[in-house]
Every structure is written in C-alpha cells, then in structure tokens.
Structure 1
Amino acid sequence: MSTTSLVADPRLASSSIPRPWRAIRASRSLSVLEMCRSNRSFNIRRPCRLVILSPIGRNVDSASRLCCSRSGNSSGARMSSVELQPSLELKAKAAEIVDALKGTSLFLVGMNGPIKTKVGKFIADALEYCYFDSDEVVEKVVGGATAARDLRQIDEKGFLESETEVLRQLSSMARLVVCAGEGATQGATNLSYLRYGISVWIDIPVDVMASEMFKEGAQFSNAEDSADAFDESVTELSRRYDKMKGGYATADANISLLKVALKLGYADLGNVTPEDIALEVLKAIENLTRAKKMMEEAGRPF
C-alpha cells in the first residue's frame, strides 16, 4: 500500500472537506513510517513491532515492522539528546516491566505542555518504544502549530474530531508512547480507543504549566505586559483544565506533580524533574500489570 504524506494540501480548504479530520481519513491510513522519515526529530534505529488490532482486539496483522525512536529537539520541548538520556534507575525499572507489558502502548493524557512531552520521551527511550505526539500529527495536517491553535479557537469541535481520528489510528499500533491530545478522554469513542493501551494522567498544576510554557516561548495572548499575559494564560489553562479533568480522572493511573514532590520531600515543585515523574509512571504501570496478572491467575481453574 502506498503511503501518503500528511503535509497540508491547499485542496483541503475546499468547502467539500470542512474539517481537517477528513484530511486524515482521506489518507486511508496514518503512515507512521512516513512520519518517521519526514520528521528530522526521529531516528530510524529501533525495531518496534506493530500489531494491528481489530475492533474486538484480535491480532489481524503483525507482519509489519517499524524502526523509530525520537531524540533531539522537537516542538514543545527543547532538550538535547544528552538531557533526554534516561538514568540507570529509570532504565532498570523499564527493564523490569517491559516483558509484562507485552508491547502494550501507553497513552499519556492531561493538559499539554513541555513537562508532559519530556516525560513521554523519557519513558519511550527507557522502554525502547516509539514516541508520538498526537497534536503534532494534527499540526502536520492543518499546516503548523499556529494553524492548529487558530483552528482550536475558531472550530474547537473540528479540532477535537481531528484528535479523535489520530487517536483511532495510533491506537491500532503497539509499542508506542503517545502524548495524547487534551481532548483524548472526552467521549465514549475516545475512551474506547484508550482501552487498547494503558492510560496515565500526568497532572500538572496550571500555574506550573503556564510557567513552563512561557519558558518555551509559547504565547497565549497579545497582552504587551508579561505579567498580564501570564495571568491570562493561567485563566485559559484553568478553564480548559476544569472542562477536561473529569475525563482525565478515568485514566488507569494518575501521576500528580504535587504528590511526586511530597513523596520526594520537595517543598519547591520546580525541583521535581520530568524524569522523576517518568519513574513514577513506570512504577504505576508495574502495579497495574501485577494486579492484572493476579486477576488472571485467580480466574484460572484448579
């Protein structure tokens, strides 16, 4: 099957295709390999087995193989490849749980921001999984980050439909760490796609999130005064957080920055690193896999 580039096509502006999710579907299938090859922030190096799942979860095609790993700089998180190297402790924990995962993909849900992105990359590197940011896929379709932000403001429903279509296609693959879009837990359809993997809510306070996003150069308003711009960004993030938090709470696990800081004895939340959070994510996943194994063993006949 031929692959289709997801670079924005001027024809998508036609009134016959009013929303960008139609453009994603028009490609017939999301070409992950093409994404890896066309994105400089991917290195083709690691074997990742793709398991295409039917709606009832049966393996219908496991012959495809993909080699991809994300490193270096990318939109949303400017970290060097050295900074993204997981510690020995994180690697050791990943080695302990990777067999039990059996290739199950991980979906990181919650408000988007640099911390969530960095956590996802640390986990992907430690597990030797492929990393994807679903919003970046949407951005490729609509023509960039600015176009995606404008779409969200003008047609939020269309933006969320785009996220759903990307989630549908990524959920059919194994050995992925996916930073899901903010609307990934909204609606029964999205939740059904998340059931194909393990979902983890990365819960970051909105003021911390706003501070990190400003450090990365994000802009939320046209306010000339930086203090006013920061306040406006916190207000907007709080609005979105309150709207989405009910859905985030349905995730299989919840990793809170506040709880991680308390556990580590940090009075300053800024002392908690993305790697600290990534380690807590792996520990939570370990507990989930153990619980699943115990349930399976309890259900076996004597």
Structure 2
Amino acid sequence: MLTMEAKVVQWPRISTWIETDKTGRRPSGSLQFAHQRSRGHQRIKVLISAQIQPTGTSNKQRPKVVSVSCSYKNFPASVLKSGINDSYDESMILKNKSQEIEPYLSGRCIYLVGMMGSGKTTVGKVLSQVLGYSFCDSDSLIEQEANGTPVSDIFQLYGEGFFRDKETEVLRKLSIMHRIVVSTGGGAVNRPINWKYMHHGISVWLDVPLEALAKRISSVGTKSRPLLHSDSGDAYRNAYNRLSTLLDERSEAYANASTRVSLENIAAKLRYRDVSSLSPTAIAIEALDQIENYLRDEEGMSFGTF
C-alpha cells in the first residue's frame, strides 16, 4: 500500500512546486523466474521478478529480497487470483512502472482530463505520490483565487464565462511549472487556448462509461456540480442525461489528449464485469503504461524492462 502523502499545490507556496530529484541506492541485482499454474483447463506462465541486495559484507551471506512483482501478459497479479495481497502487488507494479518512466518525463507536468466524476483527483493523487510529484486540482486553485468561494457559488454569482476565464488563467500559470500532476475541470478541454497550455506537459484522458459516471455522481449528490444539479426527478436519470449531452459536446476535445485511459479496457483485461471494481492503483498503472506508449511512439524514447 502506498504510504507517501501527496503534496498539494497552493498558489502562496510556489517554492514547493518544483522539487529536486530524489537519490537512492539501487538494488545490487535482480532475479526473474517463471512459474506455471493452472486456471481451469488453461495453463499460464507467471513471470516473477525480485529485486535483491546483499544483507552484509560477507560473500557467504544470502541476498535479501527487497521487492517482488508478478505479471502475466502485463496484467497485474490480481487477475491471476494468486493469493498474494492484491493491493500490495498492484502497488509494487505501480512503483516499478513509475521508476521506469519518471526519468523520461523530464519533470513535465501531467494533466488529467475527463468528465466530472471520472476519478481525476483520486488517480492524480496516486500518480503524484508514486512519481514524487506535487498534486493540484485546478478547481481548487480557482476557488483560492476567488477568496475561497466554492465553484458552485462562482457559477451562480458570476456565471460560467467568468469561471472559464479563471480556469484558463490557472492553466497558464501551471504551464510554466514542473513536476505537478494536475486534475483539471471537466470542461477545461473546450477552449483551444487551454490545450496550448496543457501541451507543455502530457495530458491523459480518463475515459469512464456514462453509466458509471452517473452512478458515482448521483450517489454523492450534485449540489457541488453546477452543470448537473437538479432539485427534482430521479437523480441517476437526470445525471445520466446531462452527462450524455456534455460528453457529446466534449468527446472530440477529450481526444486531443496525449493519451487515453479507457476504464472499460482495463476492466476487460482484468476480467471485471464492472469498472467500479477497479482500484485507483490499477487505473494509475494503466495511465503510466499509456504515458510510456506515448513517449515511445511520439517521441521515440526506448525503455528498459523490469
């Protein structure tokens, strides 16, 4: 389980936004071996990797295993029902993946885009923890600039246009920063100028099925979401209909992101029937996989394997 706290960005503490690289001693060796196990009538091969280091100065002492990870066709080990604690194993996979990718990011910010309720803040905090980045929510920064006025009140008092102007200004300021994971507002993708700023970093679209979005949002209420709030009717149906309209308006804009993370695809790979079964860590692993693909395909970078 990840234990590092996410560092949250606030405007008054600009000096904390850019962090120095952390240094540490690498394990002195690694070990990989394959193990076959059966699932039903199918035999599968599991690759188990172990990072090792000596436990003392004597050559006769046995090495100490400091980390172990398992994979099958790049699926997290939770797919394999191996009996290993799923959250621990996912965390190890995420840690290994982040260590592989982080040097190639060169400090660039990561912008998470997607519909409201898609998990941008939750996944963003996981990514910031494991990459050693700071984290910020663009809506929270807008509220700071409005003397703590909640987003819903900003819409009511000043209108959506005022809010979007503030959103663009926040993204402009963030575009010159480094080592930040940014959770953007659902409508930030509508303005081309916002993409100009976000393309200073790497943007990731969290693509979540409408049914899951409507279920999440209706279960917690829509009072804090000015584009969805309704005082009458079925909460789920109202949320679904409004989200469907918004997605139709924004889907082409979301496709401008550097890469896309489809929760439906993750659930299919992990053999889950519902995307609600996915952990934030599993989604973060897929996000890093897609970022790696982007860096390899668009920028010609090559990566070692763990």
- Residue identity matched to 1:294: G
Q: Equivalent residue for 2:182?
A: 178
Instruction: Kindly report which structure 2 residues correspond to 1:14-25, keeping only aligned pairs within 5 A, or say none.
Output: none
Q: Equivalent residue for 2:92?
A: 88
For 1:243 and 1:180, how far apart are their aligned partners in 2? 17
Q: Equivalent residue for 2:217?
A: 213
Instruction: Kindly report which structure 2 residues correspond to 1:31-46, keeping only aligned pairs within 5 A, or say none.
Output: 32=10, 34=12
For 1:49 and 1:248, how far apart are their aligned partners in 2? 32
Matched, 1:203 2:181: no
For 2:209 and 2:14, how far apart are their aligned partners in 1? 32
For 1:206 and 1:243, how far apart are their aligned partners in 2? 14
Instruction: Kindly report which structure 2 residues correspond to 1:116-127, keeping only aligned pairs within 5 A, or say none.
Output: 116-127=120-131
Deviation sequence 1:206-230 (CA, Å, 0-9, x none): 221222234445432223x6xx122
Deviation sequence 1:26-56 (CA, Å, 0-9, x none): xxxxx9462589xxxxxx7x96259xxxxxx
Change (3 A) 1:89 1:229: same
Counterpart pick for 1:48 among 1, 5, 19: 19
For 1:234 and 1:35, how far apart are their aligned partners in 2? 39
Counterpart pick for 1:149 among 149, 152, 171: 152
Point out 4+ residue stretches in structure 1 off by more than 4 angstroms: none
- Residue identity matched to 1:34: P
Q: Equivalent residue for 2:269?
A: 263
For structure 2, list consecutive stretches of 5 or more residues without a partner in the other structure. Answer: 1-8, 22-86, 224-228
Matched, 1:102 2:106: yes
For structure 1, list consecutive stretches of 5 or more residues without a partner in the other structure. Answer: 1-30, 38-43, 51-82, 297-302
For 2:276 and 2:186, how far apart are their aligned partners in 1? 23
Whichever structure has more helix as a proportion of its residues is 1
Q: Percent identity?
A: 37
For 2:123 and 2:271, how far apart are their aligned partners in 1? 20
SS at match of 2:268: helix
Higher alpha-carbon Rg: 2
Whichever structure has more strand as a proportion of its residues is 2
Q: Equivalent residue for 2:250?
A: 244
- Residue identity matched to 1:166: V
Note if contact 2:118-2:207 (Cα within 8 Å) is conserved in structure 1: no
Deviation sequence 1:254-290 (CA, Å, 0-9, x none): 1111111112111122211221111100001111222
Note if contact 1:115-1:212 (Cα within 8 Å) is conserved in structure 2: no
- Residue identity matched to 1:97: I
Q: Equivalent residue for 2:231?
A: 222
- Residue identity matched to 2:266: V
Deviation sequence 1:183-217 (CA, Å, 0-9, x none): 32223211110110001100112221222234445
Change (3 A) 1:279 1:295: closer
- Residue identity matched to 1:236: R
